A and B are shown apart, each in its own frame.
Chain A
């Protein structure tokens, strides 16, 4: 209901502002025609020179070059290192699932993985370097 009254109010507002809106429109109509004629003449001259008014200007070209250079720089930037993951080195032995790593496990990172339930059988010959989450 409030929306209905608001709509009625906007209708009333349109009646009030209509004369001013018509004046503004008429002014811009003349301005638009003048702009169109001026740009049309300019376009004709440029056409005779083998160019077009709609071609990018020097400013556009410079702006485009800068944006392209920025983009290139962004693409060429080295890929950010992945957040370090827990790497642990195990001696040769078999670990069955749901078994905690042996006590002589060397943990090369402060982030010790949550163990228990997901440790797979490790069959590497000397040592195994395993990244947590690699097999997930």
Chain B
């Protein structure tokens, strides 16, 4: 390994160092995303507790099966309740898109960067002609690719500009609410298992084995949990 590093040119070493730091930054960034998703899902999963508090307090939950059934039903209703607005916004966006496409005589290309797409507002790079260099036999990018198109406002792309926020909201809210549904769905069986389980490691029973069989038959030996 050391011989291999010694043989490297100064340029190769620099590139190796840069690649190493980029990988570290990428991993840390992904770790932050992981933490964020986990925190969000943990927060969303506690909604099951909120939804089920009254049912559990009433004593109508007779067992894990009933708990799972009621909780699943409530979770689905919660998803329906929050998703209605998202669905409506998606529907409105699609309706606008359909009507505008009718006027244009063809389906509007959202990704078009020349006349009618939202990408007219962004730089467009030619990724086919990206400058590259070779490190350890691997071709890596060495500079920005040439620019094909610069941001420019076009009147023909106005429908795309109007629809894009709706579409972005629809996609974002769908991801958010489906993640919530997943989090709740994962918590329900977990709760159904833990709620009806007693940690027997800490349970203490009184020894009434010498009492009369009648007393023992009453089943009055309840454990105390410390």
Within residues 72 to 99 of chain B, which ones have a CB less than 8 A from any CB in chain A? 76-77, 79-81, 83, 87
Give the residue name and chain of the B residue nearest to A26 (CB). B178
Q: Does A130 contact B (CB under 8 A)?
A: no
**Known pairs A10-B34, A11-B28, A28-B178; A35 contacts B60 (CB<8 A):** no
* B59 surroundings in chain A (CB, below 8 A): 66
Within residues 9 to 51 of chain B, which ones have a CB less than 8 A from any CB in chain A? 24, 26-35
Q: Does B191 contact A (CB under 8 A)?
A: no
A53–B78 alpha-carbon span in the complex (Å): 11
**Known pairs A36-B79, A66-B59, A67-B58; A11 contacts B34 (CB<8 A):** yes
A43–B79 alpha-carbon span in the complex (Å): 13
Give the number of chain A interface residues (Cβ < 8 Å): 32
CB < 8 Å neighbour of B58 from A9, A12, A54, A66:
A66
A14–B31 alpha-carbon span in the complex (Å): 7
- Which 5 A/B pairs are nearest by Cβ-Cβ distance? A11-B30, A11-B31, A63-B58, A7-B31, A11-B27
| Structural contact, A53 and B77, CB atoms closer than 8 A | yes
CB < 8 Å neighbour of A59 from B29, B32, B60, B174:
B60
| Structural contact, A24 and B28, CB atoms closer than 8 A | no
Q: Does B54 contact A (CB under 8 A)?
A: yes
Q: Does B132 contact A (CB under 8 A)?
A: no
A60–B54 alpha-carbon span in the complex (Å): 8
Q: How far is the CB of B35 from chain A (nearest CB, A)?
A: 7
A67–B58 alpha-carbon span in the complex (Å): 5
Within residues 53 to 77 of chain A, which ones have a CB less than 8 A from any CB in chain B? 53-54, 59-60, 62-64, 66-67, 70
A15–B28 alpha-carbon span in the complex (Å): 12
Q: How would you classify the secondary structure of chain A's contact residues: helix, strand, loop or mixed? A: helix
Q: How far is the CB of A10 from chain B (nearest CB, A)?
A: 4
Q: Does A108 contact B (CB under 8 A)?
A: no
| Structural contact, A15 and B54, CB atoms closer than 8 A | no
A8–B181 alpha-carbon span in the complex (Å): 28
* B54 surroundings in chain A (CB, below 8 A): 60, 63-64, 67
22 CB-based A-B contacts, threshold 8 Å: A4-B28, A8-B24, A8-B27, A8-B28, A10-B34, A10-B35, A11-B33, A25-B178, A25-B182, A28-B181, A28-B185, A29-B178, A31-B181, A32-B178, A35-B80, A36-B79, A36-B83, A36-B87, A60-B55, A63-B55, A63-B57, A66-B58
CB < 8 Å neighbour of A40 from B70, B80, B175, B185:
B80
Q: Does A100 contact B (CB under 8 A)?
A: no
A44–B150 alpha-carbon span in the complex (Å): 48
Q: Does A80 contact B (CB under 8 A)?
A: no
* A63 surroundings in chain B (CB, below 8 A): 54-55, 57-58, 60
A63–B179 alpha-carbon span in the complex (Å): 29
- Chain B, residues 168-183, CB within 8 Å of chain A (1/0): the string is 0000001101110110
Q: How far is the CB of A60 from chain B (nearest CB, A)?
A: 7
* A31 surroundings in chain B (CB, below 8 A): 181
Q: Does A106 contact B (CB under 8 A)?
A: no
Give the residue name and chain of the A residue nearest to B175 (CB). A25
* A40 surroundings in chain B (CB, below 8 A): 80
**Known pairs A9-B31, A11-B30, A12-B27; A62 contacts B178 (CB<8 A):** no
